[in-house]
Amino acid sequence: MPRRADMVVTRWGARFMGRRFPVAIGRGGVTKEKREGDGATPAGVWHLLHGGYRADRGARPATALRLDRIGPRDLWSDDPNDPDYNQWLTGSVHRFSHETLRRADPLYDLVLASDWNYPLAVPGRGSAIFVHVWRRPRYPTAGCIAFQRNHLVWIVAHWRRESRIIVQP
């Protein structure tokens, strides 16, 4: 049962702390059987653990969550064959497939890592299920949840340690 501090997400929007927000979800819709590369947002209950922000593009948002500055060498492993699969890493060279967290576009100017298949990742169950800034209104993601920047800043400012994300199928 959702609590007031929970965010409930459907394909039509999100509800959090008495407010409604437009949302973008995965191009594959919502799934109960998440697989790496399917483009779907996994249904279920998640927690936000930590995140990052681009200090060169704005101040650190006020939040109870741990936020680190995203540097030019920060990346997220999305290769099921990588021993560091589904982990935030820092390094100049990484021989496995990965996402660069310091992007030219604004998607990861504020990015939050969920506990979907993390920290003990099962290879192939999906990596990098983030909450981040959307590309444009309701434009599908690769499986993440995305919001308009000012909405995401409001959400992280009101996030509580007991808050959860409930993604409904």
User: Which domains, from first to last, does the chain contain?
Assistant: 7-167 (2.40.440)
Rounded CA gap, 17 and 123, in Å? Answer: 34
pLDDT of residue 100: 95
pLDDT of residue 119: 87
Q: For the CA atoms of the chain, what is the radius of gyration?
A: 15
pLDDT of residue 93: 84
Residues 6+ apart with CB under 8 A from 127: 36, 76, 77, 78, 80, 85, 86, 117, 121
Per-residue pLDDT of the chain (169 residues; tens, 9 = 90+): 788 899 999 999 999 999 999 999 999 999 999 999 999 999 999 999 999 999 999 999 999 999 999 999 999 999 999 999 999 999 888 999 999 999 999 999 999 999 999 988 999 999 989 999 999 999 999 999 999 999 999 999 999 999 999 999 9
pLDDT of residue 80: 94
Rounded CA gap, 113 and 87, in Å? Answer: 10
